[in-house]
Amino acid sequence: ILNVEQSPQSLHVQEGDSTNFTCSFPSSNFYALHWYRWETAKSPEALFVMTLNGDEKKKGRISATLNTKEGYSYLYIKGSQPEDSATYLCAFNTNAGKSTFGDGTTLTVKP
């Protein structure tokens, strides 16, 4: 069983604050790292697919970086809004197509 860890477990911020979370994963047998956003009463939605060491991806106010050599990825949210409230999941993928998820970081943005 692969060990994928996310921190912090939960986070409460004020609207307008910037924040970041961490996903740690095994540095061997890396194939891809996925980030998902899971809003209450909805299905998890893919945010980023990251495959190369040093990758940086951006979608609006959300961005992510990847370091495969040391086994971590950061997700950043700039100027958090209440609609960013969700659980953010990372998934480590092997070349066998298996996705192992972390336990997620639950973000609450207060207006």
Partner 1 sequence: EAGVAQSPRYKIIEKRQSVAFWCNPISGHATLYWYQQILGQGPKLLIQFQNNGVVDDSQLPKDRFSAERLKGVDSTLKIQPAKLEDSAVYLCASSLGGTVRNSPLHFGNGTRLTVT
Interface with partner 1, residue 45, by CB under 8 A: yes
Q: Least distance (Å) from partner 1 to the CB of residue 103?
A: 4
Bridge-partner residues for 65, per DSSP?
56, 74
3-state DSSP assignment of residue 77: strand
- Interacting stretch for partner 1, rule CB under 8 A, among 11-19, 59-67, 68-76, 92-100? 92-100
CA distances from residue 93 to 3, 27, 51, 57 in whole angstroms, order as listed: 12, 11, 10, 17
Binding site for partner 1 (CB under 8 A): 1, 4, 6, 31-32, 34, 36, 42-46, 49, 51, 89, 91, 95-104
